[in-house]
Each structure stands twice: as structure tokens, then as C-alpha cells.
Structure 1
Amino acid sequence: MTTETVEPQTPAYKLAKVVGEILAPWVVLVLLSLAVPWKATGYSIGYTLLWGFVIAFFCAAVPMAFIVRGARKGDWDGHHVRNREGRVKPLIVCFASTAVGLAIMLTWKAPTDLVYMAIAMLVSLVVTFAITSWWKISLHAAVSGGGVATLAVVYGPVALLLLLVVALICWSRVVTGDHTTGQVTAGTALGFGITILTFVPTF
């Protein structure tokens, strides 16, 4: 399936670029690092900030810092790592950093929802890594899809309305030519499905 790139100077393309930046995986993870702990800790500001920092630092900040550093060195083609071959090292670093974050959560007895969210991230990264060896599945879609699934478990079915935002993210990745419709669809299904399956023991 081919991409459906729009001419760079059109309003649609410019909008798609903006959407891809403001709803990038690391941004979505930072938002989740506040939304999930807020409910999981019983709306405690202190614990929300504490666990939010752990999640944001190990699941978003460390991986993003590594990716930006690699992009500046020319190891891959930008902070979105558009070339499939360049995604191996970033995915390994994402997994390792998230694993450290999970270890801290388990040691400090973090709320169950936070632990399962981290586990879902790790499983998604493993599957994504395997798929990336032969196909450029969308990380934007996988992270946002998993994020909506997490919020649906924590806050209830009303969070599924955020799938409209996921659809917007998927549209942006196709319009900019970074992914095909199949790749964003698969990414969304992967992130959403793995997250729901991970949380099954909590139901």
C-alpha cells in the first residue's frame, strides 16, 4: 500500500506536520504520565507528580534525548527516525529505559495501573522491534492507540472518544508520507490490543 503524500506547501500538509509534532509519541507519553497517576493514586497531587516524573523521565525523556542526540550526529534522519533501519538502537534504548522505570515502580510499590501500563509499553516495544525488522509500522499510532486503551481502562469507556485523536494522528502520518494507511492501522491495533490484553488481569 502506498503513502498518500500531499504537496508540502498545501494547508493539509502543513497541518499534518504540526499534528505529528504536537502529538508525537513522547508528548503522548508525558500526558499519560500525568493522567494515569492522577486517577491511580486517588487524585493525589504529590503522588501524581512523583510517579508522573518516573514515567515521563524513563519512558519519554531518556529515549527522546537519545533520539535527538543520534539525529544531531546523523545516526538517523531526524527525531522521528523515519528510516526503518535507524530505529533499532532507539527501540532498544526505549525498552531498556522503560524497564528501569518499571523496576523502580515495582520496588517502590507503584499503583497497579501504572505497573501494567509500563508492562504494556515493554511488550509493545518488543513486538514493534520484531516488526520493524521488515516493515515500518507506525510508532505514533502504536503509542497513541495504547494510550487510549490505557485511559479507557483507567477512566472508563468514555476515553474511547479519544480514538478520534488517534485517527487524526494516523491521518497526519499518511499525509506527510511517513507511513502508509496499513502501517498506521497496524500500529493503532498493536498498541491498543496489547494494552487491553496486558490489563486483563485487572478486570
Structure 2
Amino acid sequence: MTTAPTRPTPAVAVESRPARLITDGLEPKNWIIAVTLLVGWHAGRLPGVAWGVEAALFSGVIPILLIKAGERRGHWGDRHVRRRQDRLVVIPLIMASVLCGMALMLLCHAPSALVALVAAMLASLAAILAITTFWKVSVHTAVSSGAVVILALSYGPWLLALYPLVAVVGWSRVKLRDHTLGQVLVGTALGAAVAGATFVALR
């Protein structure tokens, strides 16, 4: 009696834990909260930080709550919204929240630097949305790159030394196969150019 040969078990790809920790720890929300508070401090010390909290609420906290609500209802897989078609729904929702926060800032005469910061976020989202209609660009690197440029414009060019963090974020997105190298590089360039130019023009 002979036994049938067993088929080899297909190899299962093991996710890189360091890449996952970097992607989750340096996600856009955390960059947004950090940059709004730091620009707020630079613009007006404690009153500026208070406005930074408001900007962080509408630009970072409310958007992630909306994303998590959609995730619980099964509209998209996780808080990073991997599918391009899902981002076409999520990005306008985020833009609506950012617009509400910006309207409140204008109505209550927030520091111009913070208004410029929120406008830079809005402009970056609009550019990302336009590209997302046909291609999946990296939001992680766009946000982190834009944040570093705005911090450098606020505090000094020495903060461009933070750019290795952007590179690490980009590596994590490619390592997890959520983006290609091209999508990461375009996100990095887009974030720096659009956010930086808008911030300089409006502050």
C-alpha cells in the first residue's frame, strides 16, 4: 500500500513587525497632532497651543474617529484605508472636517500661522484626492514630509534633519506592501511642495 505524496504547504508571508510599528506609530494623525501643537506654540505660546489643539481636533482626531467608525462598519479594512477606491470616500470626509476647523479659526481670529498650517493640510488633501482618482499615492509620506517642511519653516532649517523619519515611514509602507517605492516618493515630494508653498503664501 502506497500513500499519496503530500503537497508542500505554501509559504505564508510574515509581516515585518518593525515596519508595522513604524507605520502605526508615525501615522498621519500623530504627525498632524505634533505639528499643530508645535506651530501653535511658535505662533503664540499657550494661547497658540490652545488653537493648535483645535486644529488637531478637526484635522487629526475627528478624521481618525470617522475612519475607525467606517472600519467597524466594514466600509474599509483598517485605519490606513488601503484600497484606493475607499480613499475617494474617506479623503472628502477628512477635508470636510478640516474645513469646519478652518472656518472656526477664521471666525475667531486664530493666529495666521495656524490658519496657514490648516490651509496647507487642506491643499495637500486636495492634491492627494486628485491623484487618488487614478493612482494610489502615499498619504503617510505626504503628511510626514509636509510636517517636517512646515516645522523647518517655523523653527528653522535645522529641523530638516527630521527627514530620515520620513524615509523610515516610506520604508515601512513599501515593506508592508501597502505602497510602491514610486508612490512613497511622489507622496514625499507632494507633501513638501504643496504644504510648504501654501504655508509660506498664507502665514
Question: Higher RCO, 1 or 2 (CA under 8 Å, sep at least 6)?
Answer: 1
Give the aligned partner of residue 187 of structure 1: 187
Q: Which has the larger radius of gyration?
A: 2
Give the aligned partner of residue 57 of structure 1: 57
Matched, 1:22 2:32: no
Q: Which runs of 5+ in 2 are unaligned?
A: 1-12
1:85-124 paired onto structure 2 within 5 Å = 85-124=85-124
Give the aligned partner of residue 34 of structure 1: 37
Amino acid at match of 2:14: P
Q: Aligned to 2:185, what secondary structure does the other structure show? A: helix
**2 CA distance for matches of 1:143 and 1:201?**
18
Matched, 1:148 2:151: no
CA drift at 1:202: 5.8
Amino acid at match of 1:89: V
TM-score norm. by structure 2 comes to 0.90
Alignment equivalent of 2:14, drawn from 8, 17, 20: 8
Amino acid at match of 1:8: V
1:33-92 CA distance string (max 9 Å, x none): 211101111xx22x1441122111100111100100101111011110011111122101
Q: Aligned to 2:110, what secondary structure does the other structure show? A: coil
**2 CA distance for matches of 1:109 and 1:160?**
30
Q: Is 2:52–2:114's contact at 8 Å kept on the other side of the alignment?
A: no
Q: Is 2:81–2:87's contact at 8 Å kept on the other side of the alignment?
A: yes
Deviates more, 1:23-32 or 1:103-112: 103-112
**Runs of 4+ more than 6 Å apart:** none
1:129-164 CA distance string (max 9 Å, x none): 111111110000010011011101101101101111
Give the aligned partner of residue 173 of structure 2: 173
1:73-117 CA distance string (max 9 Å, x none): 110111100111111221011101101111111111111211111
Residue 201 to residue 129, structure 1, CA distance change in 2 (3 Å): closer
Amino acid at match of 1:193: A
TM-score norm. by structure 1 comes to 0.90
Q: Is 2:38–2:49's contact at 8 Å kept on the other side of the alignment?
A: no
Question: How many pairs does the alignment contain?
Answer: 191
